[in-house]
Structure 1
């Protein structure tokens, strides 16, 4: 079953929300993988693997095209909440224990509605990669970007 994200307007901003159930995983294990810099850089776009894991800590990013920037950790409540500001965007990840697994709630709040479809497709792929890491599998990036963009365009109906 494909777990698609949803799109929400919040005041003057927009939020993408993804709920991912990670079966047979404990919150503490998912937290360890989520906040491990080596694993983080395998699924999170532009992450360098350098981060200061504390409230107010810095996460370093490099887009591979000459631009580097920093994110600031805005919430850090092990093993449940990890949130940070990346430029003007807010990324918030919450982990919840659920029957026989862990639920990950990932939200991305941003300003530009025109980014919603492409960003949703990108996060969908990144969260699939995160799930592979949690399951102990090698990360594979299938060629499904166009299909995901179409699915999100149809679902969000932003015309």
Structure 2
């Protein structure tokens, strides 16, 4: 069953948070999250160029001529991976839980008009991350419009 994101106010901005449980260690999940090749499969526009250290850069290319980079703000393997992508903040954390770990993904951004689009997009990306962590072949679901409608209702 999919776990839907939640929206919170955050210092005049919006924080969209997703949470999932993985039946694997924090170390295994963290390795997948920060592996440049795996990162390109679940994170939008990632090029695979990643300098994995605090202050390191992550390269992105939207395929339409816009290249940009993120800066890694906090990196504490195997629990914390936070970076600033343009003006947005991405915070990924893992907490040990029972026979696995709890994954938290938070995207803090400004544009209220984009909430359902951002939520649907991340929902789909995290579904793909889940497939990768489980060692499955990546299969993107064609559910973006349904998710946008669900999130529009949930957040209005």
Which residue of structure 2 lines up, in the alignment, with residue 32 of structure 1? 31
Compute the RMSD of aligned alpha carbons: 0.6
Which residue of structure 2 lines up, in the alignment, with residue 7 of structure 1? 7
TM-score, length basis structure 1: 0.97
1:16 shift after superposition: 0.2
For residues 44-98 of structure 1, the C-alpha deviation after alignment (integer angstroms, 9 at most, x for no partner) is 0000000000000000000000100010000001110000000000000000111
Are 2:153 and 1:154 aligned? yes
Are 2:84 and 1:85 aligned? yes
SS in 1 for 2:132: helix
Equivalent residue runs for 1:38-117 within 5 Å: 38-117=37-116
SS in 2 for 1:141: coil
Gaps of 5+ in 2: none
SS in 2 for 1:152: helix
Are 2:135 and 1:136 aligned? yes
Point out 4+ residue stretches in structure 1 off by more than 4 angstroms. none
TM-score, length basis structure 2: 0.98
SS in 2 for 1:142: coil
* Structure-1 separation of matches of 2:117 and 2:102: 24
* Structure-1 separation of matches of 2:130 and 2:2: 12
SS in 1 for 2:142: coil
